[in-house]
Amino acid sequence: MPTNPVPAGPVSTNPEPPRPDRAPRPRRYLVCEPRFFDVQYAINPWMREDAQVDTELATSQWETLIQAYRAHGHTVESVPPAAGLPDMVFAANAALVVEGRVFGSNFHAPQRRPESTEYDTWFKATGYEVYRPESLCEGEGDLVPVGPYILAGTGYRTTRAAHDEVQEFFGVPTIGLQLIDPYFYHLDTALFVLADGSEGADGTGGRTDANIAYYPEAFSYGSREVLRRLFPRAVIATRQDAMAFGLNSVSDGRHVFVAPRASGLIDQLTRRGYVPVPVDLSEFHKAGGGIKCCTQEIRS
């Protein structure tokens, strides 16, 4: 195997050896077309009430993402957008679906609450039952399944009480992580799953170890330590990569759909044997969202 020169950039203390045999697993993604996408209120530090959104550009960026998913073998389904719900494009926030069981959302911001009903209607029409949480909970924005766990963010949106509800509902150990930086108000802005542990289970011979990438400073000291213990080989991102929405990425175990400006992260992923697929969702950054926010995974 030829040896590649090591590009400059942050290197985690215990790097995983590069592996050329990363196996992708085809996914089923749920999205919502940004027909009514806009910034009309400010519920996170990225949003400005006077922001100008270019809807045409937003639509073409979003379509590029959908095409990239399909080109890499993934199934994409779509919830019809609703007028008056400018954040509905952020499908990740609507639910967490694991083993075909749907844990719905209960939004923190009153402006977003009607989105839950729109998504629930889609799930019910598609044949799923939907559990409606009592506690404030923003779906995959704060709930991230990886290996034998569900990582669960709190601090800005989803509450600790919701983490308990998640654990009771799925029977999966749910690990609370405290977010401490308002720019990273959802767990999926500070952490993403590179491999959830199921890749290669179809006999393709890939690695099956679960792993993540994250920005440690977004987390409290204790939560940082938890992540360090659980994922000693994680990819550690810089603030620059995190502010470029680099951690709001989607991985199929091999291809990583990632914001192009997260260049340090892209270099690290390449060194680890992943294949970055840059997709620019800059218009959505004005609302505090990126690739992962626009994507919910339906896990059967």
- DSSP per residue, 15-60: PPPP-TTPPP---EEEEE--TT----S-SSTT--TTPPP-HHHHHH
Residue 165 CB, nearest distance to ligand ARG (Å)?
A: 19
The contact pattern for ligand ARG, residues 195-234, with x = CB under 6 A and - = no contact, is ----------------------------------------
Q: Which residue is nearest to ligand ARG (CB)?
A: 293
Out of 32, 137, 293, 294, the active site residue is: 293
Residue 188 CB, nearest distance to ligand ARG (Å)?
A: 5
Identify residues 11-30 at the interface with ligand ARG (CB under 6 A).
Answer: none
Q: Which of 23, 85 has the CB closer to ligand ARG? A: 85
CA 80/CA 253 separation, integer angstroms: 28
CA 62/CA 202 separation, integer angstroms: 30
Question: Judged by CB under 6 A, does residue 141 bind ligand ARG?
Answer: yes
Residue 66 CB, nearest distance to ligand ARG (Å)?
A: 17
Question: Judged by CB under 6 A, does residue 289 bind ligand ARG?
Answer: yes
- Which residue in the block uniquely carries the two structure tokens 């924005």? 141
Say whether 293 is catalytic: yes
Please enumerate in sequence order all residues whose Cβ is within 8 A of that of 295, keeping only pairs 6 or more positions apart, or say none.
29, 30, 31, 65, 69, 91, 92, 250
Please enumerate in sequence order all residues whose Cβ is within 8 A of that of 194, keeping only pairs 6 or more positions apart, or say none.
211, 212, 213, 235, 251, 253, 256, 269, 272, 274
- Residues in contact with ligand ARG by the rule CB under 6 A: 43-44, 47, 87, 90, 92-93, 112, 141, 186, 188-189, 287-289, 293
Q: Which residues are catalytic?
A: 186, 293
